[in-house]
Structures are given as C-alpha cells and as structure tokens.
Structure 1
C-alpha cells in the first residue's frame, strides 16, 4: 500500500516547466523550457550516488516529489525551485485515487 501524506505537508513552492523545441535552422532543435504552472509540493531526498568519470566524481541526487493530482504531466518536464532543477524521470498515482502524483526526479545542474 502506498504511503499517503497530509496535504498540509505540501509546503514547497515549485514551478512546473515543459520543454519547448525551436528549430535551429540546420535541421536540429534548440531546447528551452517554459513555465507551465506554479504549485505546492513535498520534496523527499532519496539517495546520492557517486560515479567516477575522467578522474572526477559527479554525484547524482534523486528525490521523490509529491504533487497534487495533475493529468498534464508528460516525459521531458522538469520542476524548478529557485536555481535548483529536478528532471522528472517517472511519475505515478501512488494509490490510484487521483489525489497525488509521485514524481521520481533527478536533480540536475543548470
């Protein structure tokens, strides 16, 4: 059974952004992001994973982010909290009741 949270615990203000692809004139596209909505959420850090690459140790931080139910989420969207960016990797309705969306996110560098 999925863990459900009290709606009062959605205490972080985030901006939901959608990708916008603009042709670059050479057959490719330039991707930018456009704000879609401002919403309340709960952010739960899950794990930090370090991978060694070329002598550096980049760290990937993953989070679970709870939102009120939305039916307009699609792949490629991200969430923003100030300068912090969270790429939405997967999302689901944790109890199939249409109350919340639970997003599995990866914090990315801007």
Structure 2
C-alpha cells in the first residue's frame, strides 16, 4: 500500500528539528549537545504498527512519520521534538522524488 499524496494544508502540527551530537564527559560519560533547532510545520502520522516486521530488531521500528516541506539537510543525526517528546530520526525520504515533501520516519524515545 503506497502513501497518499500529501497536501500543503495538511502540515498543521508544529515540530522542532534539531541536530544531536554526543560529547564526551569525563572518562566514560557522554552528554547530548543540540544545535540548529528549526521550528517546522509537519503532518504527523503514527505508524500503523509498533511491532517489528520480519527480520527487524525492536530498536529499528519507527513509531512516527513526519511530512515536512522538502529539505535536504535532515539526516539520522537529527531528532524531532513533537508535543514535548523526542523522536530519533531513522529514515529520510524525498516523497516520490518530487522535491515537494520530505518524509521523516522516527522512533519515539522514552526516558
């Protein structure tokens, strides 16, 4: 089943895109540092299943799909903050290779 065609008017949820970088602290610790926070309008979809598909590890299951206006700067080094919850970017796709929408699949982080 393919994705439905996105419409600009559907980008009606506010998200924040930020780049995460882990910085060493002390001998064995790490601390997260964030840069380039960008507020964006997005269409937010909860993925149909939180269960892994054949051959997927539990850590590899995306929980949310975010549609944003076309961007080339989103990578797996980014996180999305939506409704106070942080989501780790897992996959980034140019929808139908049209340079109209970027689809970001992400996993909600707990704790």
TM-score range, shorter chain: 0.7 to 0.9
Structure 1 residue 38 displacement after superposition:
0.3
1:96 aligns with 2:97: yes
What is the number of residues matched between the two proteins? 101
Residue number in structure 2 paired with 1:49: 51
Structure 1 runs (4+) deviating above 4 angstroms are none
More off after superposition, 84-93 vs 32-41: 32-41
Note the aligned Cα RMSD (angstroms).
2.3
Higher strand share: 1
Partners of 1:65 and 1:102 within 8 A in 2:
yes
- Normalising by the residue count of structure 1, what TM-score does the alignment of the two structures yield? 0.77
Which residues of structure 1 form unaligned runs of 5+? 51-59
Which residues of structure 2 form unaligned runs of 5+? 53-60
More off after superposition, 24-33 vs 75-84: 24-33
Residue number in structure 2 paired with 1:26: 27
Higher helix share: 2
- Normalising by the residue count of structure 2, what TM-score does the alignment of the two structures yield? 0.76
